[in-house]
Amino acid sequence: MGDSERVPRPGCVHADDDGLRSAAVAAGGTHVALLYASTVDEWHRSLGPAAPDTCHFVSVDDAVRSATATNGTGRAVGGGMYVSVLERPVADPSPVLADAFEGTSGGSLVVDDLSVLLRDADDAATALERLQTVATDASAELHVGLPDDAEAATTVARHFTPVDDATARVVASEGLSYLREADPTNFGYLRRHWEEARAGLEAVEMTYPQAKQVHAALREPETTPRTLGAALGGLVELGALDVWGDTVAANRYDLTAYDPERVAAIGDAIDSLDD
Q: Please choose, from the candidates 51, 99, 100, the residue with its C-alpha nearest in 3D space to the C-alpha of residue 79.
A: 51
Task: Tell me how far the alpha carbon of residue 256 is from its chain's centroid.
Answer: 17
- The per-residue pLDDT string of the chain (275 residues; one tens digit each, 9 = 90 and over) reads 655 565 567 899 999 999 999 999 999 999 999 999 999 999 999 999 999 999 999 999 886 444 444 544 567 777 799 999 999 999 999 999 999 999 999 999 999 999 999 999 999 999 999 999 999 999 999 999 999 999 999 999 999 999 999 999 999 999 999 999 999 999 999 999 999 999 999 999 999 999 999 999 999 999 999 999 999 999 999 999 999 876 555 689 999 999 999 999 999 999 999 88
The answer to whether the beta carbons of residues 115 and 149 sit under 8 Å apart is yes
Query: For the chain, percent helix, then strand, then coil, each to nearest 5?
Result: 50, 15, 35
Q: Which amino acid does the sequence have at 239?
A: G
Cα–Cα distance between 53 and 271 in angstroms, integer? Answer: 46
CATH number of 12-147: 3.40.50
Cα–Cα distance between 135 and 141 in angstroms, integer? Answer: 6
Residue-level pLDDT at 78: 72
CATH class of the structural domain 174-271: mainly alpha
Residue-level pLDDT at 63: 64
Residue-level pLDDT at 66: 46
At residue 274, the 3 state secondary structure works out as coil
The answer to whether the beta carbons of residues 96 and 58 sit under 8 Å apart is yes
What does the domain layout of the chain look like in residue ranges? 12-147, 174-271
The single-letter DSSP state of residue 267 is H
